[in-house]
Homo-oligomer: A and B are copies of this chain.
């Protein structure tokens, strides 16, 4: 099982980040991780960050994509993978983007 790859945010194009955020399931995960971060949490396991019922393979793909877009950092902890939103780094790379996305209302949240 390969180690997780976490890109430097400066190498992440805006398009990749927007694409990662443009899926309802992934957006829900990001919202969830953002709440956890705001609450001083240490991150969430994949299954704990997913609200809806989702096939495991699909969930795994979503997390891989979020990692690839620089949105989350993942580390193995026992049998789980703990995920953390890279809030500060994303904010530094794309100022205001996460604020706008996470602050948006209507249409399911």
A80 interfacial contact with B, CB 8 Å = no
0/1 interface trace, chain A 1-30, chain B, CB 8 Å (1 if under)? 000000000111111101101111001000
Which residue of B has the minimal Cβ distance to A13? Answer: B107
A interface: dominant SS = helix
A40 interfacial contact with B, CB 8 Å = no
Interface size on A, residues (CB 8 A): 27
A31 to chain B, nearest CB (A): 11
Which of the segments A49-57, A71-79, A81-89, A95-103 contacts the partner chain? A95-103
Which residue of B has the minimal Cβ distance to A97? Answer: B100
Which residue of B has the minimal Cβ distance to A96? Answer: B100
Given A10-B106, A103-B96, A106-B10: A18 and B15 within 8 A (CB)?
A: no
Which residue of B has the minimal Cβ distance to A14? Answer: B104
Q: Which residues of A contact B (CB under 8 A)?
A: 10-16, 18-19, 21-24, 27, 93-97, 99-101, 103-104, 106-108
